[in-house]
Amino acid sequence: MPKQTIYIAARKYSWSDQFQYAISDTDLTDMYDRDDGTIYKVLEVREIDLPALPSREEMIGAEIDALGRYSKKVMAEAREKVRLIEERIANLRCLEHNPEEDAKS
């Protein structure tokens, strides 16, 4: 199994008083991001054994599954938008053909 060095650090954004964990394969020692003021304090460095990568077929299967889930999500969101549009159209038609309003004219 291949080995990988990982860095476990505390991360603090300039706009927050809270720390969060950050795990990276990049050395975060004394790292400071000037763009957004994020600071890192490395807590621990570990060497880990990486598991074997999945086969090409397994990755294709995973991609198919992910795309299927994404497709279902997009379709559900689209159906909801269509439902809201149709509801708005129905409401406008009710206003347009309101017999009470016609009688007042």
In the chain, what are the domain boundaries? 3-49, 56-104
Nearest partner of 30 among 17, 16, 43, judged by Cα: 43
Q: Is pLDDT above 60 for 102? A: no
pLDDT tens, residue by residue, 23-44: 999 998 878 877 888 999 999 9
Q: What is the DSSP letter of 17?
A: S
Per-residue pLDDT at 55: 96
Do 21 and 41 meet the contact criterion of CB atoms below 8 Å apart? Answer: no
User: pLDDT at position 42, please?
Assistant: 93
pTM tops 0.95? no
The answer to whether 43 and 10 are in contact (CB under 8 A) is yes
Q: How confident is the model at residue 105 (pLDDT cuts 50, 70, 90)?
A: low
